[in-house]
Amino acid sequence: MNITPEKLTANYQKELSGCDVYPAPETTQRRGGKMANLVEATSQQQFENILVKSGKCLTVVHFQAPWAPQCEQMNDVMAVLAGEHGSSTFVKLEAEAVPEVSEKYEITSVPTFVFFRAGEKVDRLDGANAPELTKKVQKLSVAGGAVAEPGPVDLNQRLKKLINSAPCMLFMKGAPQEPRCGFSRQIVALLKEHSIQFSSFDILSDEEVRQGLKTYSNWPTYPQLYVNGELVGGLDIVKELAESGELETTCPKAVTLEHRLKTIINQSPVMLFMKGNKEGARCGFSRQILELMNETGVDYDTFDILQDEEVRQGLKTYSNWPTYPQVYVKGELIGGLDIIKELKESGELKSVLTGES
């Protein structure tokens, strides 16, 4: 996905010029100075959690970009609509920061609005068209009806969906990067030690899930580990499985990051790790290195580090090279833009890329 200012069509800009810019309304739905139903999603997991929590209520997701003034204008409109439609949820999501979600819903320009109910897409609006956005929100809010707090049946459906959102699902306090209790810290350490691939849900972020899952699973404490939708148990059970050697056969095994990196680095004789790809660089350094390498006529493949945060961070440590882009030849690091420039100036670039020197 490569969202650029050029992809904002003239129609969108024309529509924006006719839009009123509304001030954020005074509303009783405020939490810590902000409207409780106007939120921001910064990851795929957070986005999915919002959809699940919203249940049958309307959810409006604004795929935006910080560099686009049209998006800032439409955020003001979203604030007004959030104040007027308290039972609906309005979500701001930076399209390029969460590419897996943007690609899933085929976001190619900003602003784009996607409407959801019960986790399913029900409508879409491309462009900065405030009147049309208002009309769709009013129509879809009425069509869905105001839904009160979910009852037991709705909660059970939500829990089932969360439990089955990954083959191995850990309900814990905090996140794997920052556990917020000793038991959660221990179980995360065990899973990582045995290279278990898992996703997680922070029960401290949702009291309804925290209390409801105890009843649903008939398990009164946390953490709780599920595999393929079935409860495995808590920390003591996981410890027993680890000691008996059964943990690896019970839970899906993760491919180690080092193995992943080696595989990607060696998938082509010449590999360029960059922001973007051959068809479109997404930073000035990546654009410059593409031009230099294309001039050599040597064939090469690229990997877009913006699409995979694990690779983006892990490769810095693996290669002991803190910046991007990075060029590899036959699995060996050559360097970044400055090195490639030096090789170009000395006339050695083509021979280095072909492995002749």
- The domain locations on the chain are 5-148, 153-250, 258-353
- How much is the pLDDT for 112? 93
CB atoms within 10 A of CB 97: 16
Q: Tell me the two tokens of residue 21.
A: 């810019």
Question: Which residues of the chain register pLDDT less than 70?
Answer: 1-35, 143-153, 253-256, 357
Cβ-based neighbours of 292, under 8 Å, separated by 6 or more: 340, 341, 344, 349
> What whole-number distance in Å separates Cα of residue 320 and Cα of residue 339?
15
- How much is the pLDDT for 175? 87
In this structure, what are the phi and psi dihedrals at residue 113, rounded to the nearest 5 degrees? -120, 130
Amino acid at 94: E
> What whole-number distance in Å separates Cα of residue 187 and Cα of residue 142?
45
Per DSSP, the residues of 223-257 read -EEEETTEEEESHHHHHHHHHHT-HHHHSPBPPPH
> What whole-number distance in Å separates Cα of residue 58 and Cα of residue 115?
7
Amino acid at 313: Q
- How much is the pLDDT for 23? 36
Cβ-based neighbours of 27, under 8 Å, separated by 6 or more: 35, 82, 83, 86
Is the full-model pTM beyond 0.85?
no
Tallying the residues shown for the chain, one arrives at: 357
CA dihedral 129, 131, 134, 138 (to 10 degrees): -130
- How much is the pLDDT for 22? 35
Any bridge partners for residue 329, and if so which? 270, 332
Superfamily of the domain at 153-250: Glutaredoxin (3.40.30.10)
Tens-place pLDDT, residues 79-109? 889 888 888 999 999 998 898 998 888 888 8
- How much is the pLDDT for 34? 55
Task: Output the CA–CA distances (angstroms, integers) from residue 140 to 76, 77, 85, 136, 244, in the order listed.
Answer: 20, 17, 11, 6, 54
Count CA atoms within 13 Å of residue 317 on its CB side: 7
Superfamily of the domain at 258-353: Glutaredoxin (3.40.30.10)
Nearest CA among 228, 212, 230, 208 for reference residue 220? 212
Q: Is the dihedral of CA 2, 6, 9, 14 positive or negative?
A: positive
One fold for 153-250 and 258-353: yes
Per DSSP, 196 falls in state B
Amino acid at 327: V
- How much is the pLDDT for 47? 94
Q: Tell me the two tokens of residue 143.
A: 């069509």
> What whole-number distance in Å separates Cα of residue 190 and Cα of residue 238?
8
The enclosing H or E element of 163 equals: helix 152-163
The enclosing H or E element of 182 equals: helix 182-193
- How much is the pLDDT for 109? 82
CATH tag for 5-148 (out of 1.10.220.150, 3.90.1200.10, 3.40.30.10, 3.90.380.10)? 3.40.30.10
